[in-house]
């Protein structure tokens, strides 16, 4: 009896020690992850350029920046760096891409999950292999195709580029659809429903997690894209997205004057996305875990 109590106490003590180190590690990691965001917010309210200082911004020591909201006002009123125009460009591109890409990805995933046709598996494997190659390898040929269509200087041609290969991202959604019982499809077919009706009225109401996951991925990818957007903008300031425009704020010609405005822009574009993820994170996690069950 005493031996059992000793074993129980030693096990409990070991569990407490393990939990302490786990929580300590998580706290340290959280501090490391949050430090850049705290610095970004502090610099967005600072009055002058001081990228190499962290302590003076907090302590208010002599020579350190004063707190001000001028950077946020300047962000939307400075005509040299028209952030509001970049923000609208990015918002339109992201919303349109999100809607079309979500429908295309879910439709392709449903077809691969439920339909059986010749070359189904080879086509799935081919898409996965093509997806392994980075997108920038096709930038030159994409530019010449857009040039043939007289769309090379149009930033909204990014929508066609983003949705062009969107069906290649089918694998997570397909894995989720594989977890939905086929008996639901069969019951609906007995009642006279076709594949289109089954998809929209049977499968979709049960697939909110994967719909949210796909929509978030489709929205955030154009939101933060820099390489393709800068390639098509061709130096035209009015065609910039927020990623391209904010990069110009911190080049060697503008960083001293726009660094704090850049930080304010980072807060403005980062907070809505973070809030969206926090609001929908339970669906986001459920979509990832559900899609990972079957391949």
Rounded CA separation 292/76 (Å): 43
- Residue 159 CA to its chain's centroid (Å): 16
> In this model, does residue 292 exceed pLDDT 80?
no
* pLDDT value at residue 295: 45
User: What does the CA dihedral 256, 262, 267, 270 come to, rounded to 10 degrees?
Assistant: -140
More confident residue, 199 or 136: 199
What's the length of the chain?
A: 295
What is the Cα gyration radius of the chain? 25
Arithmetic mean of pLDDT over the chain: 81
Tens-place pLDDT, residues 197-231: 888 888 888 888 888 888 888 888 888 888 888 88
Rounded CA separation 236/221 (Å): 22
> In this model, does residue 293 exceed pLDDT 90?
no
* pLDDT value at residue 168: 81
Rounded alpha-carbon distances, angstroms, from residue 145 to 60, 136, 138, 148, 152: 55, 15, 11, 5, 8
256: its two tokens: 């001293």
Rounded CA separation 59/65 (Å): 10
268: its two tokens: 């403005």
> In this model, does residue 58 exceed pLDDT 80?
no
- DSSP string of 36-93? HHHHHHHHHTBSS--TT-SHHHHH--TTSPPB-SHHHHHHHH-SSS-HHHHHHHHHHH
Rounded CA separation 83/250 (Å): 14
> In this model, does residue 294 exceed pLDDT 80?
no
pLDDT band at 30 (very low <50, low <70, confident <90, very high): very high
290: its two tokens: 């559900």
* pLDDT value at residue 236: 81
More confident residue, 291 or 235: 235
Rounded CA separation 219/151 (Å): 22
* pLDDT value at residue 220: 86
């Amino acid at each position: 009896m005493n031996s059992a109590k000793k074993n129980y106490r030693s096990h409990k003590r070991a569990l407490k020690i393990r939990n302490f180190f786990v929580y300590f590690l998580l706290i340290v990691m959280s501090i490391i992850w949050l430090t850049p965001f705290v610095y970004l917010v502090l610099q967005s309210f600072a009055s002058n350029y001081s990228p190499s200082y962290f302590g003076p911004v907090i302590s208010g020591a002599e020579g350190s920046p004063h707190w001000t909201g001028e950077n946020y006002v300047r962000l939307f009123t400075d005509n040299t760096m028209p952030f509001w125009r970049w923000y609208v460009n990015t918002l339109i591109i992201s919303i349109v891409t999100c809607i079309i890409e979500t429908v295309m990805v879910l439709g392709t995933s449903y077809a691969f999950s439920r339909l059986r046709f010749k070359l189904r598996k080879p086509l799935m494997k081919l898409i996965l292999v093509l997806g392994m190659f980075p997108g920038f390898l096709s930038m030159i040929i994409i530019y010449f195709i857009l040039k043939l269509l007289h769309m090379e200087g149009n930033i909204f041609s990014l929508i066609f580029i983003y949705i062009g290969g969107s069906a290649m991202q089918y694998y997570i959604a397909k894995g989720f659809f594989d977890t939905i019982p086929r008996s639901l499809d069969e019951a609906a077919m007995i009642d006279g429903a076709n594949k289109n009706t089954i998809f929209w009225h049977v499968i979709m109401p049960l697939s909110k997690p994967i719909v949210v996951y796909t929509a978030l991925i489709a929205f955030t990818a154009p939101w933060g894209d820099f390489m393709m957007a800068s390639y098509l903008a061709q130096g035209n300031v009015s065609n910039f997205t927020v990623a391209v425009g904010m990069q110009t704020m911190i080049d060697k010609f503008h960083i001293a004057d726009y660094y704090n405005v850049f930080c304010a822009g980072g807060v403005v574009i980062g907070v809505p996305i973070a809030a969206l993820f926090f609001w929908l994170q339970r669906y986001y996690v459920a979509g990832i875990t559900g899609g990972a069950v079957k391949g």
